[in-house]
Structures are given as structure tokens and as C-alpha cells.
Amino acid sequence: MKKMFVSQILKRGMDLSLASLGLIFLGLILPFVSLAIYLESPGPIFYTQKRVGKGGKIFKIIKFRTMHPGAENGQPVWTAPNDNRITKVGKFLRKTYLDELPQLINVLKGEMSLVGPRPERPEFVEILRKASPLYDQRHLVRPGMAGWALIHQGYVDSVEESLVKLEYDLYYIQHQSLWFDLKILLRAFFQALSLKGRG
């Protein structure tokens, strides 16, 4: 129990330290990203969306907007490959994971961690809970910007793929450690450099 407590303190310390450094980088690129988003598709620069966090608590995730305004029309839909709702700038932001950088604010607020299962939308969580009795175990930890499932499987667009992703998430929860988190962050960083994010 004591070891777990110390591990959680160290993880939170890493989250706060790296998120603070990341926000400096975010501040440097913000004018350029904002201008690119607005010139192609006038509208809000940032996009917020309800997600399910630790303990099933709902919070609002923050991203750079990568779709045309009103793309969903109030109806939650999984993002598919070559989704025509995504702008050209949005595709680049997604491939480099730059669209996720504003989530550093969620990390500082304690709603997310740098590493953990990617937070899902409440509408999809209800569907996935019915598909697997183990699904809520993902909510035992803070959701993350990067994750073991994300670097192995990327982003998913179906119940079947989400259940495969769940296996990676449960593995992470059972084996989480500071070194494991650092390994995941490094692999996510190199995926971003090689433009292997989702399009």
C-alpha cells in the first residue's frame, strides 16, 4: 500500500513537471496553430468535449479543433479513417498529436495524467460497458494523453476495436510504474515525429 502511494505521488509529480514544460511549448506554437486553424476553417480554435475520467467522473477535455464547426450536429460518431469532417490542418495536427497538447491543462487540473487509458465519451462508455463487464476497470486510474493502447493500436472506430484496446489498457493498469510511463511517453513522442498519429 505504501509503495503504491509513493508511486502515485511520483507519477503526479512527473505529470505536473512535464505538463508545465509542455505548456511553454504550447504557448510558443499557439499563435501559428491558431492562425492555421482559423484561416482554413473560421470558428473556435479550441474544442471541448465531455469525457469519462477516474471513478466515472465526467470532465471536459480540451483540444485544438480539427473538424469543421458543427461537424457532428449534436450526434456522437466515432471518427473514421479519411473522415471528411476533418480539415487539412486538422489532419496534420492529428498525425503529430499536436491537437492533444491543450490537454496539458486537464493534466494540471488533475482530470488527466500524461499516461493512462484514453478517456472515452459518455455515450460510447455506455455501449462498451454492455459489451464488456471489465470496461469500468479503465476508470480506476486517471485517463491519459498517451497510453499503452494508443501506441499499439492507435485510435479506434468500433466496439470490436475498443475491446481490443481495453486489453492493452487493463495490462497497463496492472503493470503501471514510473518507468513504464516514461517508456510510453518516449514511444508516443517518436510516433509523433514520424507522423504516425491518426489522420
Q: Which amino acid is at 18?
A: L
Predicted local confidence at residue 198, as pLDDT: 64
Type and span of the H or E element at 63? strand 58-64
Predicted local confidence at residue 81, as pLDDT: 66
Tens-place pLDDT, residues 141-159: 999 999 999 898 877 778 8
Q: What distance, in Å, lies between the first and last C-alpha atoms of the chain? A: 42
pTM over 0.75: yes
What confidence category does residue 3 fall into, taking pLDDT thresholds of 50, 70 and 90?
Answer: low
Distance CA 159, CA 11 (A): 30
Extract the C-alpha cell encoding 93. Answer: 495536427
| Angle (CA) 98 101 105, round 5° | 170
